[in-house]
Amino acid sequence: MTETPTPETTSSVFPGLSAAESEKMEAAFGDIAQRSQKLLQDFAERYKADGPQPADPLRLTHTFMDFTAKMLADPAKLAQAQMELWTQYMQLWQATAQRMMGQKAEPVAVPAKGDKRFNDPAWKDEVVFDYIKQSYLLTSRWLQHTVKEVEGVDDKTAQKVEFYTRQFVDAMSPSNFALTNPQVLKATLETKGENLVKGLQNLLTDLERGKGKLAIRQTDMTAFKVGENVASSPGKVVYQNDLMQLIQYAPTTEEVHRVPLLIVPPWINKFYILDLKPENSFIRWATGQGYTVFVISWVNPDERLTKLVFEDYMKLGPLAALGAIEQATGERQVSAIGYCIGGTLMATTLAYMAARGDDRIINCTFFTAQVDFTEPGELGVFIDEDQLAGVEQVMSKTGYLDGTSMATTFNMLRANDLIWSFVVNNYLMGKDPFPFDLLFWNADATRMPAAMHSYYLRNMYQQNLLVKPGGIVIDNVPIDLRKISIPVYMQSGKEDHIAPAKSVYKATQIFTGPVRFMLAGSGHIAGVVNPPHAKKYQHWLNETDTNPPTLAEWQEGAKEHPGSWWHDWDKWLAEKSGPMVPARVPGEGGLPAIEDAPGSYVKVRLID
């Protein structure tokens, strides 16, 4: 009697796989083929409509050609550098040979502290992978060091070459390739290649999300919904115009300070970085301290708003908000906060108001905000004439800069954490990214109107005109930041890679009123969003009456304090916020509620 074959014994199309596994793999490849064909068709149609894209979109060819010429101009120095690398290789060979013979050997190169790429034990325990790791570290460090040592290169070019060299070095890490990553090899053997097939499907999903451009998912995008588990603090939209909605948040105390608080966030990202989960929401915490909190929620501009300029963001943003707050509360004067580029806008607005004798803002807090762009950090790499012209050419086609372009720029500043770790997890390991509210917000990109964005990049970053008295003129008013004489609280992040603390500190030498400068632990986001209950990081304060000329001098006299700086800020602001009055309910004052917080503007997404 012939035995009926079971799925386990049926011949498989894929050697080494059971019939069930083979069927599953066939279905996956069928799905991949169908989706790939659709993507190729879409690409062909776009190529036909838009024409071929430039081979050098960042316009780096000329920069690297000039740099290479200067490097080759000193062949003796280059030969010496090559000999040093060869010597290090020989040391690595010797150490590896010792390990292969069962002897102990000290590593020639070890990963930097905090480098998570080589955390898997195999990178250290397995001789072959240890050799691959150390060989990469030696080569990458040699390359970056050699680039820094080239003479005759101006600072701007040197910074650009160093930055893009690091991008290349990070991309070539052995952890980014399936055959040289022990974790990926192990997963491939254990899943019989299913991880790579799933990774290919993830890759196609991200290409589909980006409409042909790779939009790497950094988190589970289905795990969060704006207004439900992020941006969920209760409140009402009480005013709106074409550019923004103004949200008034519900009080959580019976009494509040008389002076309302207006928060002006950056328009490059959504405001709810200050209102993620309830336990780390700055907005919710501030209402708990007895402040009537108003927040601007910027629109996500589309084709209808391409003509907006920087002046519009001031008039339709904070200035319009001041009038609305007075209608809603009856209070003419307010406290203000400006975050990042929102702080740059606030400084411009304060100088404009001072010139016109407008005293409605009686104090201002700046979160990681630059006004002097002499040393803007690595973002300055993108601000030269060639690259600005490239950005303006791209914007000329649509009238705005697509939000994903700006998001990619910020991700490049921390490529290993924000790009390559997800390439490995999503495409090589075939895993889905974990739910993380901060990365959900990070992926919620916004557009920038062409005229406004070009004005900001050229006048602030490239020419640094904001810091020059009368360097820019808004509504026929020459802007002079020295006229800002109200009390200022200035926050900066010790490890901020977007608005470096040294650059932020420069404002202490410009504003003429009392400035309380505070240096927080961590960076551009965690340095701000650090609730007291978390008991994380630290902050530094210098209690001298005046701020010395440089951040380094300020740090010499600064004292470290554990944990969050929020209570220090609250103490500073409470003294300037007037007596306590009955709490104000949004929509029950002079402005009726339009809709529930967080409003509709913030829910306009570019990619789901």
340 is catalytic: yes
Query: What is the rounded CA–CA span in Å between residue 600 and residue 237?
Result: 9
User: Which pLDDT score is estimated for 8?
Assistant: 44
> Look-up: residue for tokens 């090589």?
428
Q: What is each CA distance from 303 to 215, 242, 399, 552, in whole angstroms?
A: 22, 13, 7, 46
Pairing of strands 261-264, 293-298: parallel
Give the residue among 517, 601, 598, 537 at the shortest CA–CA distance from 229: 598
Tell me the two tokens of residue 508.
Answer: 């202490």
Task: Give the count of beta carbons closer than 10 Å to the beta carbon of residue 235.
Answer: 23
User: Which pLDDT score is estimated for 55?
Assistant: 60
User: Which pLDDT score is estimated for 5?
Assistant: 45
User: Which pLDDT score is estimated for 544?
Assistant: 85
User: Which residues pair with residue 582 across a beta bridge?
Assistant: 255
- Domain annotation for the chain: domains and CATH numbers: 61-176 (no CATH), 235-421+433-603 (3.40.50.1820)
Give the residue among 413, 387, 414, 380 at the shortest CA–CA distance from 502: 380
User: Which pLDDT score is estimated for 331?
Assistant: 97
User: For 191-244, how does the pLDDT look when each residue is reduced to its tens digit (9 = 90+)?
Assistant: 989 999 999 999 999 888 888 888 899 999 999 999 999 999 999 999 999 999
The CB-side HSE value for 288 (13 A sphere, CA atoms) comes to 13
Q: E strands, 340-418, where?
A: 361-367, 400-401
Task: Give the count of beta carbons closer than 10 Å to the beta carbon of residue 462.
Answer: 16
Give Cα 214 to chain centroid, integer Å. Answer: 18
Contact call for residues 345 and 307 (beta carbons, < 8 A): no
C-alpha dihedral sign at 561, 563, 564, 570: negative
| pTM (predicted TM-score) | 0.89
Pick out the chain residues at pLDDT < 50. Answer: 1-11
Residue type, 207: L
Query: What is the rounded CA–CA span in Å between residue 464 and residue 226?
Result: 36
Task: Give the count of beta carbons closer than 10 Å to the beta carbon of residue 8.
Answer: 10
Which residue of the set 263, 320, 340, 518 is catalytic? 340
Query: What is the rounded CA–CA span in Å between residue 285 and residue 533?
Result: 11
What is the average pLDDT value for the chain, to the nearest integer? 90
Give the residue among 318, 457, 440, 441 at the shortest CA–CA distance from 380: 457
Query: What is the rounded CA–CA span in Å between residue 523 and residue 493?
Result: 5
Contact call for residues 115 and 420 (beta carbons, < 8 A): no
Query: What is the rounded CA–CA span in Å between residue 236 and residue 283?
Result: 14
First CA to last CA across the chain, in angstroms?
Answer: 57
- What are residue 478's phi and psi, to 5 degrees? -65, 130
